[in-house]
Amino acid sequence: MMVGMYESTYDFPATIYSSKARFDNYTQDFGWDPSVMHVFGNLPFRDGYDIPLLTDFLTRCAERGIVALTSMEPWQGLDNVTDSVAATFADLCARFEPGNFTNGPGTACLVRFALEFNGPFHPVWMWQPTAHKAAFRRVANALHSRTKLAGIMWGPNSGLGYPWAFQLDPNNLTTLSAVDRAALDTNKDGKIDNNDDPYQPWWPGAEYVDWIAMTAKHWNTDMNVEAPAQLLNTLIDAPYAGGTVQSFYQTYAAGFNLPMAMPDTGATYVAANPGVSGVVVKGSWMEQLYNTGNTYNFGTYQSQVPHLLPSGAIDPAYASNIATKFPLMKMINLYNHYVLDDYSQKLIDWSIRSHPLNQSATDQSQALLTIFRTLVSPQNQVNGQQYFVNRDRLIQLGIVTGADYTKIPQSVTPSAPTPTGVAGGPAAVPPAGSPTVSGAPAPSASSTSTATPAAAGGSKPGRGHAQAQTLWGGIIGLAFLAIAALA
């Protein structure tokens, strides 16, 4: 699994913290270089802002030979993400690939475009499945045709709580086109509610998607609490749409045999709130994100880590073994930020290390860094193999230089069930004991994908971008080296 951070340095003037210094400090704090870093940008580009930001970020990643993840947000509207806009962005990504970049190993771009489209956080592009699919395809086509290695992520918000009461304000509903309203009413009962599918209306087709992503966090802005047991499983692997679809992970990651990422996860801690310490809030969430069934020694902080058994293992009733539970989870990045939440109007400290706007939490940062470093240490092996991929391992295996990852031996190949409830698969089948929903719509011609799940590390039909398929398929192969004995 690749491990990295959302790099919030770019939210601040260079006088506060230069990006190079910030990247260097990650190496110092972690004891090793991360394999991926993450930044947000806008598409179309904002004048005088996005090109310098992305150029600097891509330069830092290319100098180190790590993966560059960019979350590109269409704040000027989905229709303004034209073919020309997408081509300009793809050409920028291509400049920093191996062979084009000459001041280091180079980087491979991963792009999460128009994220969290099904959630309440982005009014400019939420609730617009028709326009979203069209724009997503334009960006995917540009990346696949104009770069050698770039891939694109399809990344909704976790559907837990969908469609969120405040999002169903009548003013929001009246802005929906008839086409979008019909698409969002997936069970055709005349309502948009939690019996509807929170993901399928936005699915662009498997031939356009290289990675599956999800925004899933331990969220509570009223009180500081530890993460509920098995929260990660609830967010990404629980039945949804009134129980008619098995789970997000099974439908999209396993169903299409695509690698999955959590690009910017974290746990909410508000210093002014009652409750437990930040170490417990964030440490408990990291236990669920990074538990591989090993025993852990957190040194002087051992007693501060909740849910440890006397052996030093994490209680499996609290946190599943992610290597066996979610073998296609190939990237988890923490949201290292300190920011005012728009909805609660509270300052949320997401960080696990010191931050330019929050330098006072030194003691908690040391404990959290120790917990993080211990959980994702390169020495933390699964079946005698390195599971968490740092920068050195990334370069050793040639992930950013376009090596053929289909040649990596794989002792475990995940099953690739036919996707259900999405284009390209049969209609969803309700699990035993769940309510049935009649009248589920057939996929429209514009959203139907004929792509079939590929063998791990292989390529899919309908793409014409073999090198990117080799790159990202190979990352799947990499982690399977480390979990052979756990299947």
Per-residue pLDDT of the chain (487 residues; tens, 9 = 90+): 888 887 665 554 443 345 676 777 777 777 788 888 899 999 999 988 899 889 999 999 999 999 999 999 999 999 999 999 999 999 999 999 999 999 999 999 999 999 999 987 888 998 899 999 999 999 999 999 999 999 999 999 998 888 876 555 656 666 788 999 999 999 999 888 889 999 999 999 999 999 999 999 998 989 999 999 999 999 999 998 888 888 999 999 999 998 899 999 999 999 889 999 999 999 999 999 999 999 999 999 999 999 999 999 999 999 999 999 998 898 999 887 777 887 788 888 888 875 555 555 555 778 898 999 999 988 888 887 888 888 888 888 777 765 333 322 222 443 444 444 454 333 333 333 332 222 222 223 233 333 333 333 333 323 334 444 444 444 444 333 333 333 3
What's the confidence (pLDDT) of residue 102?
Answer: 95
Q: How far is CA 145 from CA 139, 148, 364, 376, in A?
A: 10, 8, 46, 35
Give the Cα separation of 324 and 175 in Å (integer).
Answer: 44
Residue 208, SS3 per DSSP: helix
Q: What is the dihedral of CA 291, 296, 298, 302, to 10 degrees?
A: 90
Q: How far is CA 34 from CA 279, 410, 419, 481, 484, in A?
A: 22, 24, 33, 20, 24
Pick the CATH number of 2-486 from 3.20.20.80, 3.10.580.10, 1.20.1250.20, 3.90.1640.10: 3.20.20.80
Give the Cα separation of 454 and 292 in Å (integer).
Answer: 26
Question: Which amino acid, one-letter code, is at 139?
Answer: V
Packing angle of the helix pair 362-375, 278-290 (nearest 10 deg): 10
Structure tokens at 234: 């609830």
Residue pair 153/111 in contact (Cβ under 8 Å)? The answer is yes
What's the confidence (pLDDT) of residue 411?
Answer: 29
What's the confidence (pLDDT) of residue 1?
Answer: 84
What's the confidence (pLDDT) of residue 401?
Answer: 65
Domain extents in the chain: 2-486
**Please, how many CA atoms are within 13 Å of residue 347, restricted to the half-sphere of its CB?**
6
What's the confidence (pLDDT) of residue 157?
Answer: 92
3-class SS letters over 251-308: HHHHHHCCCEEEEEECECCCCCCCECCHHHHHHHHHHHHHCCCCECCCHHHHHHCCCE
Question: Which amino acid, one-letter code, is at 465?
Answer: H
Structure tokens at 371: 């917990």
Cα end-to-end span (Å), the chain: 16
CB atoms within 10 A of CB 299: 9
3-class SS letters over 402-464: CCCHHHCCCCCCCCCCCCCCCCCCCCCCCCCCCCCCCCCCCCCCCCCCCCCCCCCCCCCCCCC
Q: Which residues contact 119 (CB under 8 A, 6 or more apart)?
A: 126, 156, 157, 164, 167, 215
Residue 43, SS3 per DSSP: coil
Residue pair 151/467 in contact (Cβ under 8 Å)? The answer is no
Concatenating the DSSP letter of every residue in 386-401 gives: E-SB-HHHHHHTTGGG
Give the Cα separation of 443 and 168 in Å (integer).
Answer: 24
What is the DSSP-derived secondary structure letter of residue 204? -
Residue 429, SS3 per DSSP: coil
What's the confidence (pLDDT) of residue 464?
Answer: 36
- List the beta bridge partners of residue 39: 70
Q: Report how many helices (DSSP H) and strands (DSSP E) the chain contains, helices first.
A: 14, 12
Predicted TM-score (pTM) of this structure:
0.83
Structure tokens at 311: 């052996």
Query: Quick one: 27 exposed, middle or buried, by C-beta within 10 A (0-12, 13-18, 19+)?
Result: middle
What's the confidence (pLDDT) of residue 47?
Answer: 86
CB atoms within 10 A of CB 174: 8
Structure tokens at 261: 């990422």
Residue pair 195/156 in contact (Cβ under 8 Å)? The answer is no
Give the Cα separation of 81 and 101 in Å (integer).
Answer: 26
Pairing of strands 67-73, 109-113: parallel
Give the Cα separation of 481 and 487 in Å (integer).
Answer: 11
Q: How far is CA 288 from CA 8, 157, 210, 216, in A?
A: 24, 18, 25, 12
Give the Cα separation of 154 and 5 in Å (integer).
Answer: 19
Residue 154, SS3 per DSSP: strand
Which of 326, 194, 349 lies closest to 262 in space, CA to CA?
Answer: 326
What's the confidence (pLDDT) of residue 362?
Answer: 52
Give the Cα separation of 419 and 432 in Å (integer).
Answer: 18
